[in-house]
Structure 1
Amino acid sequence: MKKVFLFMCAGLISLGASAQIEAPQPSPLAKIEQKVGLTDVTLEYSRPAVRGREIFGSLVPFGKVWRTGANANTKITFSDDVEIGGKKLAKGTYAIYTIPNKDSWEVVFYKDANNSGVPQEWDEAKVALKATAKVESMPFSMESFGIFVNEIKNDGAVLDFVWSNTAASLPFTVPTDAKTMASIEKVMNGPGANDFFAAASFYQESGKDLKKAHEWIKKATAMQEDAFWMWRKRSLIEAELGMKKEAISSAQKSLAMAEKAKNADYVKMNKDSLKEWGAM
């Protein structure tokens, strides 16, 4: 009985140690995903509350670097290069730090987004961009801190930092025009070598119309003559079509290119095929 009692106590202690209480976080996590033109913008940050406190100039001092939220770093991710304050910011993920002042904020995009709060050792070399945000007083108070992507247009939007009765706004632009024009030109110019190669590969590997696959792979190799992997695919399609002479010629071209590129896998595959076809 004593052993049973001790065993039950041990089990209760174990359960107590592993149990976790779920409760609301004082600064809940937020994630925003917004498409601006053709660019994906993602924000991840925690949202502290006012709770009757004086915020800017007190809890968040003027003139000092602020973590811009709570808990882990506030992060922003751009899927394309963007422009902020007339300066280019490369695509990627950044921590956002700010230096609030009464009339303006300095917004800092920091390359290391894995800190918790402001880095203990600030590294100016990790500052990707600094820009000035315009500050306005609001006629009402926002209880929870928020960062929003507003005023969305095809070529840009505005990052709004809002808390208490203060809003700081930072416009940014995205490369919608350049991306759209590139897409239009690509479509209007017709399929490229990779498109023809992909279509031919699918037809050959799926047992579809080999003659159509051969038509496409010839267009691919004509457009990209030094692509040994395309010539390899062409040789296989020709072999399946019974075009042995053409298959050998294509394999020999692929082999020479693969040797020049020092691609051992394609060198071996081509040699194996040429031996099988009696050309080596």
Structure 2
Amino acid sequence: MHKLSLTAATICLAAQLTTAQIKLPSPSPGASVMQTVGTTDITVTYSRPSLKGRQPFTDSFVPVGKVWRTGANGATMFTTSTDLMVNGKTLAAGSYAIMSIPSQESYTLIFNKNKSVTEQTYKQEEDALRVQLTPAENSEKIETFTIGFSDVTDSTAKMNFMWANAKAAADLKVDVNTNAAANVDKAVVEKPDDAAVLQAAASYNLSKGRNLDQSLSWIDKSIAKQETYRNLFVKSQILAKMGKYTDALPIAQKALTMGQSSNDAAFSFFKDGIEKSIAEYTAKVPAMPAMKAGKGKKKA
């Protein structure tokens, strides 16, 4: 009876602590890792079990060859702000539960649409994507299950799953140019009268040689809102990119004059570029045709 009463008291105490939302230590503490790859924000939220003398991927602890929630407690969550490629396959922007099937020869990585999925409720028909990873051996033993990112560039990264002496990595890739172009177009739609946004959007398109007619329209609107040596220089560059050096030259010259009198400390970073552009445009402006001898003279 005493034992029963103690158990009931323990249960009541646990319920009270839960209701009170008191933060207590967890055997598998929660963690979150966020990585930006180019224009894409990727976040993984999961719970981290530790070995504590056990060996994972055995029949008694995280069985091999069976679906695993890839962590502890609730489902491991993966969120990407844009579409991305995982091992060459497309995963649409959104949030997914990460499940996996670990084995010695192959590690199946699963992105499941059911964000509250467990091993018992998992359905393959709810998968958004499955890819195969090749497990490798870690040089050091990892006590606590870890998901992290490495080899990050402006468009690629590796997402690593590490535990004990095992490691599996997924190759991630984002289409930076497509995403950046979409961000530019969205920014102009949201702030169509912002001179700085219009200038930045026109500059991006110029750097990619993209939609120059639209870029010229944007920079003209930026200049109309607030004329500066910066947006004048951008306009001269767009015109030059379109082969209109005769139009580009006087605008670049005006940008230089305005910059020199602007008292803007940042102008020193633009000065050489503007002067070089003026020299380039001058060299490419067609020479004025010489007047023919006697042209314009009245006959005697």
TM-score for the superposition, normalised by structure 1: 0.58
Matched, 1:25 2:7: no
Which amino acid letter does the alignment assign opposite residue 39 of structure 1? T
2:168 paired residue number: 168
**Structure 2 vs 1, CA of residues 18 and 158 (structure 1 numbering), >3 Å: closer, same or farther?**
same
Matches within 5 A, 1:57-72: 57-58=58-59, 59-72=61-74
TM-fit CA distance, 1:25: 0.5
TM-fit CA distance, 1:16: 10
Deviations 1:121-152 (A, max 9, x none): x3333100000112111122101001001111
**Structure 2 vs 1, CA of residues 192 and 118 (structure 1 numbering), >3 Å: closer, same or farther?**
same
TM-fit CA distance, 1:181: 4.6
SS at match of 1:163: strand
Q: Matches of 1:72 and 1:194 in 2, distance apart?
A: 38
Which residue, out of 68, 76, 79, partners 1:77? 79
2:211 paired residue number: none
Matches within 5 A, 1:1-280: 18=16, 22-58=23-59, 59-115=61-117, 117-120=118-121, 122-181=122-181, 195-196=191-192
Q: Matches of 1:100 and 1:172 in 2, distance apart?
A: 19
TM-fit CA distance, 1:198: 7.0
TM-fit CA distance, 1:87: 1.5
Which amino acid letter does the alignment assign opposite residue 144 of structure 1? T
Give RMSD over aligned pairs.
3.0
SS at match of 1:152: coil
TM-fit CA distance, 1:85: 2.3
Contact in 2 for aligned 1:98/1:105 (Cα 8 Å) = yes
Q: Matches of 2:62 and 2:130 in 1, distance apart?
A: 19
Gaps of 5+ in 1: 1-13, 200-211, 217-280
Which amino acid letter does the alignment assign opposite residue 57 of structure 1? T
**Structure 2 vs 1, CA of residues 38 and 64 (structure 1 numbering), >3 Å: closer, same or farther?**
same
TM-fit CA distance, 1:177: 2.5
SS at match of 2:151: strand
Contact in 1 for aligned 2:82/2:179 (Cα 8 Å) = no
**Structure 2 vs 1, CA of residues 176 and 140 (structure 1 numbering), >3 Å: closer, same or farther?**
same
TM-fit CA distance, 1:183: 5.5
Contact in 1 for aligned 2:62/2:68 (Cα 8 Å) = yes
Q: Matches of 1:15 and 1:145 in 2, distance apart?
A: 30
SS at match of 2:135: strand
Q: Matches of 1:96 and 1:131 in 2, distance apart?
A: 12
Contact in 1 for aligned 2:133/2:168 (Cα 8 Å) = yes
Q: How many residues align?
A: 183
SS at match of 2:149: strand
Which amino acid letter does the alignment assign opposite residue 72 of structure 1? G
**Structure 2 vs 1, CA of residues 195 and 136 (structure 1 numbering), >3 Å: closer, same or farther?**
same
Contact in 2 for aligned 1:155/1:177 (Cα 8 Å) = no
TM-score for the superposition, normalised by structure 2: 0.55
